[in-house]
């Protein structure tokens, strides 16, 4: 049996920024709040953390800062995937060296790949890693779909232990679960599908929602694992307006606005992302207020 990196909620944490660059003071504050709120892991420099527009130096600094700040209290999963396999290998080796607990490897974007290319690329990265690797399938962003049959091949690699499934295609995820069984841990990559994927044997969620609502997101999973399916489902549905508002513009635009409103730094993003449209931001904050968040 392979090592399970975490069960429950991993926050795909934002990277707080200001005009000067990464805002490490608020990054530390956010990490501490997430851990105090009970999340089971933290993903650094992923999609939500704007890893694709961090400079190489910033990317490495963000990963090391997160590892050092967390200091072993929960696993840190480092976003080290890239459309350049050689770069992903180099960054993965670095993350292993600084003490990250696992890697998150997105499918290649823009240049994409065949399924054979995905197997070859992910195998090369996993071969270079001394820590468990979680695949990340998000075809709406990458234009590249990691098929269940391909994951079944990759799941035989000893260092490939999980997959973040953000295809949104439940039928595909059912096929994935049927083919892979216990060879790979499945995590929801969409906050509106936490309960359905747990019901398919999923281990948890890599979450955007848990940035502003960590306790509530953890509670969805805790209720499910305790056998309270109805309670888990009820909370999932209760939070749906917030989830929908967090994706009313491309992630992480809305969650950056949410976290700024909650006092975790400024609402600053890296181009080509720009701050949320005022009418969408008002709706998001209204939904968060209705869900019990105070500003």
What DSSP state is assigned to residue 89? Answer: H
pLDDT at 1: 65
Residue 285 maps to a domain: no
**Cα separation of 78 and 83, whole Å?**
16
What span, in angstroms and rounded, lies between the C-alpha atoms of 212 and 13? 10
Is the dihedral angle over the CA atoms 156, 158, 161, 167 positive or is it negative? negative
50 domain residue, yes or no: yes
- Which residue among 136, 187, 203, 256 is the active-site one? 136
Do the domain assignments include residue 46? yes
Active-site annotation holds for 136: yes
Q: Would the pTM of this model clear 0.75, i.e. be above it?
A: yes
In a domain, 47, yes or no: yes
Residue 160 sits in a domain whose CATH number is 3.20.20.70
Angle of the 24-36 helix axis to the 56-70 helix axis, nearest 10: 40
Taking each helix axis as running N to C, give the angle between helix 85-98 and helix 56-70, from 0 to 180 degrees, rounded to the nearest 10.
30
Q: pLDDT per position in the chain (295 positions), as tens?
A: 688 999 999 999 999 999 999 999 999 999 999 999 999 999 999 999 999 999 999 999 999 999 999 999 999 999 999 999 999 999 999 999 999 999 999 999 999 899 999 999 999 999 999 999 999 999 999 999 999 999 999 999 999 999 999 999 999 999 999 999 999 999 999 999 999 999 999 999 999 999 999 999 999 999 999 999 999 999 999 999 999 999 999 999 999 999 999 999 999 999 999 999 999 999 999 999 999 998 8
Task: Give every CB contact of residue 101 below 8 A, 6+ residues apart in sequence.
Answer: 5, 41, 75, 76, 77, 131, 132
Q: Is residue 18 part of a domain?
A: yes
List the domain range (segments joined by +) for residue 103.
8-218
Three-state DSSP class for 128?
helix
DSSP state of 6: -
Please give the C-alpha separations between residue 48 and each of 26, 52, 157, in angstroms, as whole numbers. 16, 10, 27
Whether residue 280 lies inside any domain: the answer is no
Instruction: Kindly report the length of the chain.
Output: 295
From CA 265, how far away is CA 253, in angstroms rounded?
Answer: 14
The distance in angstroms from the start CA to the end CA of the chain is 45
Write down the residue that tokens 């953000």 correspond to: 166
Determine the pLDDT at residue 55.
97
Q: Tally the domains of the chain.
A: 1
Which residue is catalytic, options 64, 131, 164, 203? Answer: 164
Sign of CA dihedral 127, 129, 130, 136: negative
Q: Does some domain include residue 290?
A: no
> Given this model, what pLDDT does residue 38 score?
98
Maximum Cα–Cα distance for the chain, whole Å?
Answer: 49
The answer to whether position 244 is within a domain reads no
User: 24 an active-site residue?
Assistant: no
């Amino acid at each position: 049996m392979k090592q399970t990196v975490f069960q429950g909620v991993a926050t795909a944490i934002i990277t707080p920024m200001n005009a000067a660059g990464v805002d490490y003071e608020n990054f530390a504050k956010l990490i501490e709040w997430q851990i105090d709120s009970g999340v089971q892991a933290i993903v650094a420099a992923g999609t939500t953390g704007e890893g694709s527009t961090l400079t190489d130096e910033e990317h490495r600094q963000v990963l090391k800062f997160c590892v050092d700040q967390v200091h072993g209290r929960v696993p840190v999963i480092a976003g080290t995937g890239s459309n350049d396999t050689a770069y992903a290998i180099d960054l993965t080796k670095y993350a292993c060296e600084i003490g990250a607990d696992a890697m998150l490897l997105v499918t290649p974007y823009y240049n994409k790949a065949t399924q054979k290319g995905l197997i070859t690329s992910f195998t090369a990265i996993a071969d270079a890693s001394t820590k468990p690797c979680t695949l990340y399938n998000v075809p709406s962003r990458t234009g590249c779909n990691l098929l269940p049959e391909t994951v079944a091949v990759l799941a035989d690699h000893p260092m490939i232990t999980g997959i973040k499934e953000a295809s949104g295609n439940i039928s595909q995820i059912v096929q994935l679960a049927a083919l892979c069984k216990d060879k790979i841990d499945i995590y929801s990559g969409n906050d509106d599908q936490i309960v359905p994927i747990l019901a398919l044997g999923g281990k948890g969620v890599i979450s955007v929602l848990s940035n502003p609502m960590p306790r509530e997101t953890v509670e969805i999973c805790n209720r499910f694992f305790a056998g309270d399916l109805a309670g888990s489902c009820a909370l999932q549905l209760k939070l749906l307006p917030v989830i929908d508002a967090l994706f009313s513009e491309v992630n992480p635009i809305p969650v950056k606005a949410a976290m700024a409103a909650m006092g975790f730094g400024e609402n600053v993003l890296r181009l080509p992302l720009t701050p949320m449209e005022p009418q969408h931001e008002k709706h998001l904050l209204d939904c968060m207020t209705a869900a019990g968040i105070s500003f």
